[in-house]
Structure formats: C-alpha cells, structure tokens
Amino acid sequence: MQTAHEAEMHVYYRYTEFSRIATQEGYRGIAYLFTAFAAAELIHAGNFARILARLNVEVPPVPRPVLRAGTTRENLIAAAASEIASIDSLYPGLLERLRAEDHADAMTTVRYAWATEKQHRDKIAQIQRWSPSFFEQVAKHIDAKTGQYFICQLCGCTLNKLPAETCPVCANAAKHFRRIEPSG
C-alpha cells in the first residue's frame, strides 16, 4: 500500500505537470483531461493513505519528484504507458499480495483505483488512436469538444457527465461527484 500511495502521488504530480505543459502549448482540452486525471490520482493516494493510517503505518508526505516531461504529444504517449503498467502490473500484483492479508478495505480501494485507471487508459487511447499522424487536428477537436469532467470523491471515477444515481465504480450516491475546473 505504501508503494501504491507513493506511485499515485507521483502520477498526480506528473499529470499536474503535463496539464501545465499542455496549457502552455495551447491544448486546453488535453490540459483539462490531465487536470481531471490528476484529481482522480490524488483521491487514490488519499484512499491508500487512509488505509495505511488505519493500520498504524506512518504516511510521510511524498515529495514532488524531479519530472521529465516532454511535449503534450509525448506526454500523452507516456501517460498511456503509465496507465497500462498500472492496469497490467501494479494493481493485479497489489491485489495478490492483499488477498494473502485478507484486508477487505484495502482490496476495495485498490479495485476502485484499478477501475479508474482503466477509464483513464480508455480516454487516452481514444486520443492516441488518431494522434500519431494527425495530432494537431485531434488536439483541436478535443479543445472544441471537451465538455466537463466529474470525479467521484470516494473512488476517483472519472466521467464526462454526472451519473443519474450512483457511481459506476463504487456504487455510492452520485452526490459524491465533483466537477473538476479546467486548468489555467
């Protein structure tokens, strides 16, 4: 859980930087996407920290790492690779270790984060599919069509519109969603 907490904080810092760069480069929609993803990653980190605190494990602040960020196009590629690594390796491995400890709350928070990472991967994949050859056109389309992002404050679920009744990830009431404000 400590490794997952640190990983989520690092991704939060990374996506915050990616958002800043996208804003600087004039890609408002992609900047907003990274801002929303960063908010979800911060919720995951907070959930992991709460589990650790309940287990009487000290959770020191995670310092902002030295970040290597590229252009917005490069950052989208890096973000997709990061999400895939979390989906394919980090979370399945963490769940295996937690099963042995039989800690239900910890396993639930990991499943929530895992489901949210899959949402992030799917949104990035939609962009990546067209961006190798047509990045500028795709980026302009995203800027023109970007609506809003809403994040469940309990699990980090990331949606473009509020669910009618409950969160599709944690099944809690939709009242727990918060609209994320665009960056910049």
User: Residue 182 has which token pair?
Assistant: 């665009």
Per-residue pLDDT of the chain in tens (184 residues, 90 and over written 9): 898 999 999 999 999 999 999 999 998 888 999 999 999 999 999 999 999 999 999 998 999 988 888 998 889 888 888 888 888 898 999 999 888 888 899 999 999 999 998 888 887 776 766 656 677 777 777 777 777 899 999 999 999 899 999 999 999 999 999 999 887 6
pTM over 0.85: yes
User: Residue 168 has which token pair?
Assistant: 């599709």
Model pLDDT, residue 41: 95
Model pLDDT, residue 130: 61
Are 44 and 83 contacting, i.e. CB atoms less than 8 angstroms apart? no
Model pLDDT, residue 23: 94
Model pLDDT, residue 182: 85
Which contacts qualify for 102-109: CB closer than 8 Å, 24 or more apart?
Answer: 103/51, 103/55, 105/51, 105/54, 106/1, 106/51, 109/44, 109/47, 109/48, 109/51, 109/155
Tell me the C-alpha distance between 122 and 100, whole Å.
30
Model pLDDT, residue 128: 66
